[in-house]
Structure 1
Amino acid sequence: MLFIATLDHTPDNCWARPENEEKAREWIAGMDRTAEQAGVEVHGSYVTPNEHRFYFVLEADTFEAVTAFLGPPLLHDHDAHVAPVLTFGEAERTLLEE
């Protein structure tokens, strides 16, 4: 199942701030290992620095696997919206089956 995760943080809690850089480097360096341990495949990870927002395109069997991948510390430092998504092709097939 595919998920889109959008995580927002305040400028005061930005991981680019000097007091947060070490935490950010550690999480990014361990991201692949954390994903593997959680059973998550990362299809994309993006940041919009001016908006203080992260985006992830993730594949996992469960929502719990996604939350295991994201936090802590991400889910402690960010407001998150995680939603399962379908491709347009999958949605079309679902509609045609009804």
Structure 2
Amino acid sequence: MSEENDGIGAGTVLLSFLAGAAVGVGAALLLAPKSGEELRGDIKDLADDAVSKIKEYASDAQEKIRASYEDGKELVIEKKNIISSAIEAGKQAMEREREKQEQV
């Protein structure tokens, strides 16, 4: 579960790539010999596609964050139970040793 992340995440790289592609396509549309109406329609379509993809990636990111949070929460509870058991065992062992010392 605990992977080291020494650089930029894959999601960030993908989002940056898509943003760059959108800018490139937008520039190509602006420089293409089309009528104003066609150009505005192409730009609107491009913007709509970009917005829908960004929403999709944001939704995916939320799901991954939610899943990671739940996994982390379960792990904390599990470790807390282990530590509580170890503390209780230590208390019992200390009590047994104290009773042995009192008998001597």
TM-score higher than 0.5 here? no
Q: TM-score range by the shorter chain?
A: under 0.3
Q: Which is greater in Rg?
A: 2
**Bigger fraction of residues in helix:** 2
TM-score, structure 2 as length reference: 0.26
Q: Which has the higher contact order (CA 8 A, sep 6+)?
A: 1
Going by fraction, where is strand more abundant, 1 or 2? 1
**TM-score, length basis structure 1:** 0.27
